[in-house]
Amino acid sequence: MKNLFSNFRGDLFGGITAGIVALPLALAFGVSSGLGPSAGLYGAIFISFFAALFGGTNTQISGPTAPMTAVSMVVIAGIVAINDGSIEKALPAILIVFLLAGLMQIGLGLLGIGKYIRYIPYPVVSGFMTAIGVIILVTQILPSIGYYPKEDDEFVSQYKPMAEEIILENILKEEAGEGILVLEDFEETIKRSEGITQDDINKEASTLAKTEASGVFGTIKVLPRALQNINWLELILALSTIAIIYGFKRITTAIPSALVALIVVSGVAYGFGLNYRPIEEIPSGFPVPYLEIFTGFKLSSVTPYIFTALTLALLGAIDSLLTSVVADNMTKTKHQPNKELVGQGIGNSVAAIFGGIPGAGATIRTVVNINAGGKTKLSGMVAGVLLLIILLGLGPVASQIPAAVLAGILVTVGIGVMDYKGLKAIPSLPKDVSVGPIKLSSEVIIMLVVLVLSSVWNLVYAVGVGLVIASLMFMKKMGDLTAERSDVKTLEHEKGWADEANFPKHLKEKVFIKHIKGPLFFGSTSEFQVLADQIPRSASTVIIRMDRMQYMDQSGLYTLEDVLIDLLNSNIEVLLVDVLDQPRYMMERVDLIPDLIPKERIFNTFDECIKYLDKKNNFKKVEASA
């Protein structure tokens, strides 16, 4: 506790500044997620406080972020769609997924996975971040121009026939669940179908219209219609917000421009009594736990989203630890990655129980905190408490914020979150993959695949596909590199390594040397087999030099075993030189040593191997003369 208050003044100012920066973003991310502004605010409050308290990065400020919100949107939309378009029905399942993501993060931290997060390839992260920007940017077009598909009667009417079919389908499913056979009790079906009102049809059609117009594809699909129904007041409010955010930064960065835009545009709209669309009402009072998360929980409704929860957990881990690295560079400290994951997991778990959306370490808010004097965990806790005070004291006021203002803020977030560094590097990256007559960079291919799939298909699956492609390309590169650097030769006509220069001349024609330069793993086994097949069966001895083979996996182990058996069956003696620790351990575990290669045929240096061969050859000469 003494360390916690060692920088009280700096942490107080840092936390207050970071909390002020977080306010408009929390509201905007909540609206964007589909759960409303209060969900964004609850997430910011609890994640900021508990991630700071239990985390491993003293200066980190956490809360809802663009990547986490984008994935949350997918979760929310999917669960709402299978719950008759009702947020109320879907909320327990949505929050349990968020809770699972938090618990998984705690598990990742306890298992020590934090130190491995850095191995996720940059092209995957780059493509994902740019896709996040595209998704946010495109999906905010409709609210920025004041067009809401579910409120467009003409558009909604197109879905009324489909709505009737779905309602009848649901009736039949209910009857099947109750054990009612339609053929035996058709009157019951008719009776229930007669109870369908026009309001029921309109409500279902409205849900279908909203679903149809969601996401990047949905937005693009309804955009021509939306442009014919622009609400000019909403558009002006959104554009004014964007202009202030970018313009105020040119004046000063001491005050968050997003907050200035929020206060100025909202104040003008409210003060002049403009007929704008406000955000959803933010509940007043202290947040209370959403106990229905447990009482209304159904395993069947959550099972399809287990992988999504894991993706949220991993994404939050990556997002947070990248921010931790930024904080380390600024403060010249070193964060504890696994402890940070535990803290983030606790924050997300608590936020889910109170109905908040998930989040992660936020780079901009962390930088603001450090620049304002924050140095300890107290700063993040202060940021959370400040947001709670704003919720309790200014909830009704915040409910009057125009929806178009938050849409404008999100447009700037979408533009800012894209990875311009990765995009600018595309022309200069080496073209190492041939696609027909065209040569492309493997990194560019990975980035574009993740970008396109994330934008138009599914964020979760896109990352998985990107990781698989990146892994396959990496394995191919390592295999090619190992094959290129490894060789097999006699020393009769070719020059070997430096210590092979004095190899006895009378042995050069019968002794072959196999050099292995690099790991022997499943990506390089086929090339190794090809090189081994080049050894003529007339050879008397094969020396396998393993000085530069640091690693061998199970595939490499069994391939080496096959090669050794083949050579020994051809009455070729095999000698090993400088077997490193990991490969030797693998070979001893399956008894390649000593069953196939006795320990007396394994040498620490090439000179020792030469002495063995010379001695053996001289012995044979003596035997022949005798």
Indicate the pairing of strand 487-490 with strand 511-517: antiparallel
- With tokens 């100025």, the residue in question is 264
Q: What is the mean pLDDT of residues 604-609?
A: 88
Between 266 and 549, where is the model more confident?
Answer: 266
Percentage of the chain beyond pLDDT 70 is: 88
| Across 325-354, average pLDDT | 90
Which comes out higher in pLDDT, residue 150 or 116? 150
Residue with tokens 């369908």: 196
Q: What pLDDT was estimated at residue 479?
A: 64
* Number of Cβ within a 10 Å radius of residue 554: 12
Indicate whether 175 pLDDT > 70.
no
Q: Is 80 exceeded by the pLDDT of residue 192?
A: no
pLDDT of residue 136 exceeding 80: yes
pLDDT value at position 8? 85
pLDDT band at 180 (very low <50, low <70, confident <90, very high): low
Contact residues for 360 (Cβ-Cβ < 8 A; gap 6+): 47, 62, 65, 67, 68, 315, 316, 317, 319, 320, 323, 344
Whether the predicted pLDDT of 475 surpasses 90: no
In the chain, DSSP finds a helix count (H) and a strand count (E) of 27, 9
What's the pLDDT tens digit per position in 483-507?
555 554 443 444 566 677 777 777 7
Does 36 or 300 have the greater pLDDT score?
A: 36
User: Do residues 76 and 394 make contact, with C-beta atoms less than 8 angstroms apart?
Assistant: no
Nearest 10 degrees: CA dihedral of 332, 336, 341, 346? -100
> Burial of 556 by CB count in 10 Å (0-12 exposed, 13-18 middle, 19+ buried)?
buried
Q: Where are the beta strands (DSSP E) in 395-548?
A: 433-435, 438-440, 487-490, 511-517, 541-548
Lowest mean pLDDT of 19-28, 96-105, 289-298, 607-616, name the range: 289-298
Higher pLDDT, 135 or 478: 135
* Residue 626 binned pLDDT confidence (cut-offs 50, 70, 90): very low
Buried b (16+ CB within 10 A) or exposed e, 92-104: bbbbbbbbbbbbb
Q: Taking CA 192 as the corner, what is the angle to CA 186 and CA 197, rounded to the nearest 5 degrees?
A: 145
Rounded mean pLDDT, 308-337:
85
Mean per-residue pLDDT of the chain = 83
Whether the per-residue pLDDT at 42 is higher than 90: the answer is yes
pLDDT of residue 622: 43
The residue ranking higher by pLDDT, 249 or 110, is 110
Q: Give the pLDDT mean for 78-86.
A: 78
User: In what helix (H) or strand (E) does residue 506 lie, and over which residues does it extend?
Assistant: none
d(CA 307, CA 313): 10
Asked if residue 557 lies in contact with residue 526, where contact means CB atoms within 8 angstroms, the answer is no
* More confident call, 300 vs 227: 227
Least confident of 117-126, 450-459, 544-553: 117-126
Quote the CA–CA distance of 62 and 5 in Å, as a whole number: 20
Kindly state the helix (H) or strand (E) to which residue 576 belongs, with its residue range.
strand 573-577
Interatomic CA distance for residues 159 and 172, integer angstroms: 20
Rounded Cα distance, 593 and 277, in Å: 77
CA angle 69, 71, 76 (to 5 degrees): 85
